Protein backbone atom coordinates (compact mmCIF):
# COMPACT_ATOMS: atom_id res chain seq x y z
CA UNK A 1 0.00 0.00 0.00
CA UNK A 2 2.87 2.41 0.78
CA UNK A 3 6.26 2.90 -0.86
CA UNK A 4 7.58 4.85 2.12
CA UNK A 5 6.89 4.84 5.83
CA UNK A 6 8.36 8.00 7.39
CA UNK A 7 8.65 8.40 11.13
CA UNK A 8 8.38 12.07 12.12
CA UNK A 9 6.98 15.16 10.38
CA UNK A 10 9.65 17.77 11.09
CA UNK A 11 11.75 19.12 8.24
CA UNK A 12 13.63 15.81 7.80
CA UNK A 13 10.51 13.70 7.37
CA UNK A 14 8.37 16.30 5.62
CA UNK A 15 10.93 17.13 2.91
CA UNK A 16 11.48 13.46 2.08
CA UNK A 17 7.72 12.82 2.11
CA UNK A 18 6.87 15.63 -0.32
CA UNK A 19 9.86 14.97 -2.57
CA UNK A 20 9.03 11.29 -3.11
CA UNK A 21 5.28 12.00 -3.26
CA UNK A 22 5.98 14.34 -6.18
CA UNK A 23 7.64 11.35 -7.88
CA UNK A 24 4.44 9.38 -7.55
CA UNK A 25 5.33 7.37 -4.43
CA UNK A 26 2.74 6.59 -1.77
CA UNK A 27 3.85 7.83 1.65
CA UNK A 28 2.66 7.21 5.20
CA UNK A 29 3.90 9.60 7.90
CA UNK A 30 3.82 8.36 11.49
CA UNK A 31 3.88 11.26 13.97
CA UNK A 32 4.04 10.78 17.73
CA UNK A 33 2.77 14.26 18.51
CA UNK A 34 -0.69 15.68 17.91
CA UNK A 35 0.61 18.02 15.20
CA UNK A 36 2.98 18.16 12.23
CA UNK A 37 6.15 20.27 12.01
CA UNK A 38 8.35 18.81 14.73
CA UNK A 39 10.07 21.39 16.91
CA UNK A 40 9.44 24.10 14.29
CA UNK A 41 5.71 23.96 14.99
CA UNK A 42 4.22 27.38 15.71
CA UNK A 43 0.73 28.52 16.68
CA UNK A 44 -1.24 31.56 17.78
CA UNK A 45 -1.58 31.73 21.55
CA UNK A 46 -4.76 32.86 23.32
CA UNK A 47 -3.74 36.49 22.74
CA UNK A 48 -3.40 35.96 18.99
CA UNK A 49 0.40 36.21 19.02
CA UNK A 50 2.32 33.69 16.90
CA UNK A 51 4.70 31.71 19.12
CA UNK A 52 7.20 28.92 18.56
CA UNK A 53 6.09 26.31 21.06
CA UNK A 54 9.47 24.56 21.22
CA UNK A 55 11.77 27.57 21.18
CA UNK A 56 12.71 30.06 18.44
CA UNK A 57 13.61 28.85 14.95
CA UNK A 58 15.13 31.18 12.36
CA UNK A 59 15.74 30.24 8.74
CA UNK A 60 19.05 31.11 7.09
CA UNK A 61 21.09 29.47 4.34
CA UNK A 62 23.67 29.99 1.64
CA UNK A 63 22.13 27.17 -0.40
CA UNK A 64 20.08 28.39 -3.33
CA UNK A 65 18.68 24.86 -3.73
CA UNK A 66 17.32 24.82 -0.17
CA UNK A 67 15.92 28.35 -0.41
CA UNK A 68 14.25 27.64 -3.76
CA UNK A 69 12.77 24.38 -2.49
CA UNK A 70 11.22 25.87 0.65
CA UNK A 71 10.00 28.91 -1.30
CA UNK A 72 7.57 26.59 -3.11
CA UNK A 73 5.65 26.34 0.17
CA UNK A 74 5.94 29.81 1.66
CA UNK A 75 6.55 33.47 1.00
CA UNK A 76 9.09 35.09 3.31
CA UNK A 77 9.10 37.86 5.88
CA UNK A 78 12.39 39.70 5.33
CA UNK A 79 14.06 39.20 8.70
CA UNK A 80 17.77 39.26 9.53
CA UNK A 81 18.41 37.86 12.97
CA UNK A 82 20.27 40.08 15.44
CA UNK A 83 21.18 38.92 18.94
CA UNK A 84 22.39 41.00 21.85
CA UNK A 85 23.84 39.98 25.19
CA UNK A 86 22.71 41.59 28.41
CA UNK A 87 25.90 42.29 30.35
CA UNK A 88 24.67 43.59 33.68
CA UNK A 89 22.14 45.87 32.02
CA UNK A 90 24.20 46.85 28.97
CA UNK A 91 23.13 45.40 25.62
CA UNK A 92 25.95 44.46 23.25
CA UNK A 93 25.80 42.81 19.79
CA UNK A 94 26.64 39.08 19.55
CA UNK A 95 28.83 37.80 17.97
CA UNK A 96 31.32 40.35 19.27
CA UNK A 97 32.04 42.84 16.47
CA UNK A 98 33.38 46.34 15.94
CA UNK A 99 30.14 47.88 17.25
CA UNK A 100 30.49 45.77 20.40
CA UNK A 101 34.08 46.99 20.67
CA UNK A 102 32.88 50.59 20.80
CA UNK A 103 30.30 49.87 23.52
CA UNK A 104 32.76 47.95 25.69
CA UNK A 105 35.87 50.11 25.34
CA UNK A 106 34.53 53.58 24.50
CA UNK A 107 35.16 55.75 21.45
CA UNK A 108 38.86 56.54 21.86
CA UNK A 109 40.23 53.13 22.89
CA UNK A 110 37.94 51.21 20.54
CA UNK A 111 39.22 53.19 17.54
CA UNK A 112 42.79 52.16 18.35
CA UNK A 113 41.75 48.51 18.87
CA UNK A 114 39.67 48.60 15.67
CA UNK A 115 42.70 49.63 13.62
CA UNK A 116 44.77 46.86 15.18
CA UNK A 117 42.17 44.19 14.43
CA UNK A 118 41.64 45.31 10.83
CA UNK A 119 45.37 45.58 10.21
CA UNK A 120 46.02 42.13 11.67
CA UNK A 121 43.06 40.13 10.31
CA UNK A 122 41.40 42.18 7.57
CA UNK A 123 37.98 43.84 7.50
CA UNK A 124 34.97 41.55 7.22
CA UNK A 125 36.62 38.39 8.54
CA UNK A 126 35.50 36.14 11.41
CA UNK A 127 38.40 35.38 13.74
CA UNK A 128 38.20 32.62 16.39
CA UNK A 129 39.20 33.84 19.85
CA UNK A 130 41.83 31.09 19.96
CA UNK A 131 43.62 32.97 17.17
CA UNK A 132 43.26 36.23 19.05
CA UNK A 133 44.67 34.64 22.19
CA UNK A 134 47.74 33.50 20.26
CA UNK A 135 48.51 37.06 19.14
CA UNK A 136 51.58 38.68 20.70
CA UNK A 137 49.74 42.00 21.09
CA UNK A 138 48.40 42.33 24.62
CA UNK A 139 45.40 44.46 23.57
CA UNK A 140 44.21 41.82 21.09
CA UNK A 141 44.64 39.05 23.66
CA UNK A 142 42.59 41.10 26.12
CA UNK A 143 39.72 41.31 23.62
CA UNK A 144 39.75 37.51 23.36
CA UNK A 145 39.74 37.20 27.14
CA UNK A 146 36.80 39.60 27.42
CA UNK A 147 34.76 37.61 24.88
CA UNK A 148 35.58 34.35 26.63
CA UNK A 149 34.75 35.55 30.13
CA UNK A 150 31.71 37.72 29.40
CA UNK A 151 30.01 36.15 26.38
CA UNK A 152 31.04 32.52 26.15
CA UNK A 153 32.05 30.94 29.44
CA UNK A 154 29.05 31.27 31.78
CA UNK A 155 26.54 30.97 28.95
CA UNK A 156 28.14 27.67 27.94
CA UNK A 157 28.22 26.46 31.54
CA UNK A 158 24.47 27.03 31.77
CA UNK A 159 23.73 25.60 28.33
CA UNK A 160 25.68 22.38 28.77
CA UNK A 161 25.79 21.98 32.55
CA UNK A 162 29.58 22.03 32.60
CA UNK A 163 32.33 23.56 34.69
CA UNK A 164 35.00 25.71 32.99
CA UNK A 165 37.40 22.75 33.23
CA UNK A 166 34.98 20.48 31.35
CA UNK A 167 34.46 22.86 28.43
CA UNK A 168 36.31 21.60 25.36
CA UNK A 169 39.07 24.09 24.37
CA UNK A 170 38.39 23.25 20.72
CA UNK A 171 34.83 24.57 21.12
CA UNK A 172 36.08 27.66 22.91
CA UNK A 173 38.51 28.35 20.12
CA UNK A 174 35.76 28.54 17.53
CA UNK A 175 33.92 31.42 19.23
CA UNK A 176 34.28 34.24 16.70
CA UNK A 177 35.01 37.92 16.75
CA UNK A 178 33.60 39.60 13.65
CA UNK A 179 35.85 42.28 12.18
CA UNK A 180 33.01 44.44 10.83
CA UNK A 181 29.98 46.48 11.88
CA UNK A 182 27.60 43.75 10.73
CA UNK A 183 25.28 43.10 13.68
CA UNK A 184 23.57 40.12 12.07
CA UNK A 185 23.92 36.83 13.92
CA UNK A 186 24.14 35.00 10.58
CA UNK A 187 25.84 36.24 7.44
CA UNK A 188 24.05 33.82 5.09
CA UNK A 189 22.80 34.98 1.68
CA UNK A 190 19.18 33.99 2.36
CA UNK A 191 17.52 34.85 5.66
CA UNK A 192 13.94 35.20 6.76
CA UNK A 193 10.87 33.78 8.47
CA UNK A 194 7.96 32.00 6.77
CA UNK A 195 5.50 34.82 6.16
CA UNK A 196 2.49 33.02 7.63
CA UNK A 197 4.48 30.85 10.04
CA UNK A 198 6.22 27.48 10.00
CA UNK A 199 3.05 25.42 10.49
CA UNK A 200 1.36 26.71 7.28
CA UNK A 201 4.62 25.92 5.46
CA UNK A 202 4.42 22.32 6.65
CA UNK A 203 0.71 22.13 5.83
CA UNK A 204 1.41 23.16 2.23
CA UNK A 205 4.42 20.83 1.98
CA UNK A 206 2.43 17.81 3.14
CA UNK A 207 -0.67 18.64 1.10
CA UNK A 208 -0.43 15.83 -1.45
CA UNK A 209 -2.80 13.06 -2.46
CA UNK A 210 0.16 10.68 -2.13
CA UNK A 211 0.78 11.52 1.56
CA UNK A 212 -1.17 10.06 4.46
CA UNK A 213 -0.48 11.33 8.00
CA UNK A 214 -1.19 9.51 11.25
CA UNK A 215 -0.87 11.72 14.33
CA UNK A 216 -0.62 10.53 17.94
CA UNK A 217 1.07 7.32 16.76
CA UNK A 218 4.24 5.77 18.16
CA UNK A 219 6.54 3.97 15.74
CA UNK A 220 7.55 1.56 18.51
CA UNK A 221 4.05 0.13 18.43
CA UNK A 222 4.07 -0.32 14.66
CA UNK A 223 7.58 -1.40 13.66
CA UNK A 224 9.23 -4.73 14.40
CA UNK A 225 12.75 -5.75 13.44
CA UNK A 226 13.05 -9.44 12.59
CA UNK A 227 15.81 -11.51 11.03
CA UNK A 228 14.12 -11.56 7.63
CA UNK A 229 13.24 -7.87 7.53
CA UNK A 230 11.26 -4.97 8.95
CA UNK A 231 7.62 -5.57 9.80
CA UNK A 232 5.08 -2.77 9.81
CA UNK A 233 1.77 -3.50 11.54
CA UNK A 234 2.68 -7.22 11.60
CA UNK A 235 3.34 -7.45 7.85
CA UNK A 236 6.76 -7.50 6.20
CA UNK A 237 7.43 -4.10 4.64
CA UNK A 238 9.44 -3.96 1.41
CA UNK A 239 9.37 -0.20 0.93
CA UNK A 240 11.74 2.35 2.48
CA UNK A 241 11.51 3.33 6.15
CA UNK A 242 12.86 6.80 6.99
CA UNK A 243 13.31 7.17 10.73
CA UNK A 244 13.81 10.68 12.19
CA UNK A 245 13.14 9.94 15.87
CA UNK A 246 15.38 9.09 18.81
CA UNK A 247 17.20 5.87 17.88
CA UNK A 248 17.77 4.77 21.49
CA UNK A 249 14.08 5.12 22.37
CA UNK A 250 13.09 3.04 19.34
CA UNK A 251 14.86 0.14 21.07
CA UNK A 252 13.70 0.96 24.61
CA UNK A 253 17.16 2.34 25.55
CA UNK A 254 18.46 -1.24 25.82
CA UNK A 255 22.10 -0.05 25.74
CA UNK A 256 21.42 3.03 27.86
CA UNK A 257 19.82 6.41 27.25
CA UNK A 258 21.73 8.72 24.90
CA UNK A 259 22.50 11.94 26.80
CA UNK A 260 20.93 15.20 25.66
CA UNK A 261 20.29 18.64 27.04
CA UNK A 262 16.66 19.65 27.21
CA UNK A 263 14.98 22.99 27.82
CA UNK A 264 12.27 24.29 30.11
CA UNK A 265 10.35 27.28 28.77
CA UNK A 266 8.76 30.00 30.86
CA UNK A 267 6.26 31.92 28.70
CA UNK A 268 4.76 35.26 29.77
CA UNK A 269 2.28 37.68 28.21
CA UNK A 270 3.03 41.34 28.90
CA UNK A 271 0.55 44.12 28.35
CA UNK A 272 3.11 46.42 26.73
CA UNK A 273 4.26 47.26 23.21
CA UNK A 274 7.70 45.65 23.54
CA UNK A 275 9.95 44.12 26.16
CA UNK A 276 13.52 44.15 24.79
CA UNK A 277 15.52 45.76 21.95
CA UNK A 278 15.96 42.58 19.84
CA UNK A 279 14.03 39.35 19.30
CA UNK A 280 16.61 37.36 21.26
CA UNK A 281 18.68 38.58 24.21
CA UNK A 282 21.32 36.26 25.65
CA UNK A 283 22.05 36.35 29.38
CA UNK A 284 25.72 35.47 29.45
CA UNK A 285 26.89 36.38 32.95
CA UNK A 286 23.82 36.23 35.20
CA UNK A 287 20.42 34.58 35.71
CA UNK A 288 19.62 30.87 35.50
CA UNK A 289 18.13 31.16 32.02
CA UNK A 290 20.23 31.51 28.88
CA UNK A 291 18.09 33.79 26.74
CA UNK A 292 14.75 35.54 26.33
CA UNK A 293 12.88 35.50 23.02
CA UNK A 294 10.25 38.10 22.14
CA UNK A 295 8.33 36.43 19.33
CA UNK A 296 6.65 39.39 17.62
CA UNK A 297 10.13 40.77 16.88
CA UNK A 298 10.90 37.56 14.94
CA UNK A 299 7.76 37.70 12.83
CA UNK A 300 7.02 41.42 12.50
CA UNK A 301 3.54 40.81 13.92
CA UNK A 302 1.66 43.85 15.21
CA UNK A 303 -0.14 43.46 18.51
CA UNK A 304 -0.90 45.57 21.52
CA UNK A 305 0.81 43.15 23.94
CA UNK A 306 3.87 40.94 23.64
CA UNK A 307 5.00 37.46 24.63
CA UNK A 308 8.42 36.57 25.97
CA UNK A 309 9.93 33.13 26.54
CA UNK A 310 12.77 32.36 28.93
CA UNK A 311 14.89 29.25 28.30
CA UNK A 312 16.28 27.13 31.13
CA UNK A 313 18.67 24.35 30.00
CA UNK A 314 18.45 21.07 31.92
CA UNK A 315 19.67 17.50 31.79
CA UNK A 316 17.41 15.28 29.69
CA UNK A 317 16.11 12.33 31.71
CA UNK A 318 13.44 10.98 29.36
CA UNK A 319 10.64 12.38 31.53
CA UNK A 320 7.14 12.62 30.08
CA UNK A 321 7.23 16.31 29.14
CA UNK A 322 10.93 16.52 28.31
CA UNK A 323 12.20 16.91 24.75
CA UNK A 324 15.76 15.97 23.71
CA UNK A 325 17.17 19.09 22.05
CA UNK A 326 20.97 18.99 21.98
CA UNK A 327 23.04 15.82 21.63
CA UNK A 328 26.07 15.75 23.94
CA UNK A 329 28.82 14.78 21.54
CA UNK A 330 31.74 12.84 22.98
CA UNK A 331 33.46 9.51 22.31
CA UNK A 332 31.58 7.57 24.98
CA UNK A 333 28.18 8.74 23.77
CA UNK A 334 29.01 8.02 20.16
CA UNK A 335 30.06 4.50 21.09
CA UNK A 336 26.62 3.99 22.62
CA UNK A 337 24.99 5.53 19.53
CA UNK A 338 26.92 3.15 17.27
CA UNK A 339 25.58 0.16 19.19
CA UNK A 340 22.07 1.25 18.24
CA UNK A 341 22.94 1.89 14.60
CA UNK A 342 24.51 -1.58 14.43
CA UNK A 343 21.04 -3.05 15.05
CA UNK A 344 19.61 -1.48 11.88
CA UNK A 345 22.61 -1.76 9.55
CA UNK A 346 21.44 -5.19 8.37
CA UNK A 347 18.24 -3.68 6.91
CA UNK A 348 18.89 -2.12 3.52
CA UNK A 349 15.52 -0.32 3.48
CA UNK A 350 15.94 1.50 6.81
CA UNK A 351 17.42 5.02 6.86
CA UNK A 352 18.31 7.31 9.76
CA UNK A 353 17.78 11.01 9.11
CA UNK A 354 17.82 14.03 11.40
CA UNK A 355 19.25 15.28 14.66
CA UNK A 356 17.70 12.58 16.87
CA UNK A 357 18.21 9.67 14.49
CA UNK A 358 21.79 10.73 13.72
CA UNK A 359 22.58 12.09 17.19
CA UNK A 360 23.90 15.39 15.84
CA UNK A 361 22.75 18.98 15.54
CA UNK A 362 21.36 20.41 12.30
CA UNK A 363 20.23 23.87 11.33
CA UNK A 364 17.03 23.95 9.25
CA UNK A 365 18.87 24.34 5.96
CA UNK A 366 21.30 21.56 6.83
CA UNK A 367 18.58 18.97 7.37
CA UNK A 368 16.59 20.11 4.32
CA UNK A 369 19.70 19.66 2.19
CA UNK A 370 20.40 16.25 3.75
CA UNK A 371 16.80 15.15 3.09
CA UNK A 372 16.91 16.29 -0.55
CA UNK A 373 20.19 14.45 -1.08
CA UNK A 374 18.79 11.27 0.47
CA UNK A 375 15.86 11.34 -1.96
CA UNK A 376 18.27 11.75 -4.89
CA UNK A 377 20.15 8.66 -3.71
CA UNK A 378 17.03 6.56 -3.16
CA UNK A 379 15.29 7.49 -6.39
CA UNK A 380 18.17 7.64 -8.86
The 10s digit of each residue's pLDDT in 217-272 is 999 999 999 999 999 999 999 999 999 999 999 999 999 999 999 999 999 999 99
Which residues have C-beta within 8 Å of that of residue 373, sequence separation ≥ 6?
none
Q: What average pLDDT does this structure show over 148-172?
A: 85
Question: Taking the complete model, does pTM exceed 0.85, yes or no?
Answer: yes
Question: How much of the chain exceeds pLDDT 90, in percent?
Answer: 91
Average pLDDT over residues 159-181: 83
The pLDDT, as a whole number, for residue 92 is: 97
pLDDT band with cut points at 50, 70 and 90 for residue 380: confident
- Starting at the edge strand found earlier in the chain, the sheet holding 235-236 runs 223-226, 229-232, 235-236
> At residue 11, does pLDDT exceed 70?
yes
Q: Which residues contact 161 (CB under 8 A, 6 or more apart)?
A: 261, 313, 314, 315
pLDDT at 367 over 70: yes
pLDDT > 90? residue 47: yes
Is residue 170 over pLDDT 70? no
Supply φ then ψ for residue 309, to 5 degrees.
-130, 125
| Residue 35 CB contacts under 8 Å (≥ 6 apart), including other chains | 41, 199, 215
Q: Chain-wide mean pLDDT for the chain? A: 95
pLDDT of residue 163: 84
pLDDT bracket for residue 143 (50, 70, 90) = very high
The domain ranges of the chain are 4-36+206-255+329-378, 89-178
Helix 11-21, helix 198-205: angle, nearest 10: 30
**CATH (residue range 4-36+206-255+329-378):** 3.40.50.720
Amino acid sequence: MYDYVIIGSGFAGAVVARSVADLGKKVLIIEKRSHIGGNCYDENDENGILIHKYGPHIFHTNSEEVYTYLSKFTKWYDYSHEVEANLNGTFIPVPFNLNTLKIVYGEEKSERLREKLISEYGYGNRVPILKLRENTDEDIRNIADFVYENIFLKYTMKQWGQTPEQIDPAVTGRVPVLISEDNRYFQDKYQGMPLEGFTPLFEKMLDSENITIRLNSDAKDLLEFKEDGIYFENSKFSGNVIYTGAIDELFDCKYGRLPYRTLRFDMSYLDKEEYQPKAVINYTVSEDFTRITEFKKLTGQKSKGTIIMKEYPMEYTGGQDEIPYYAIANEENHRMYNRYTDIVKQYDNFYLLGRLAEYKYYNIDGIVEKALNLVKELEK
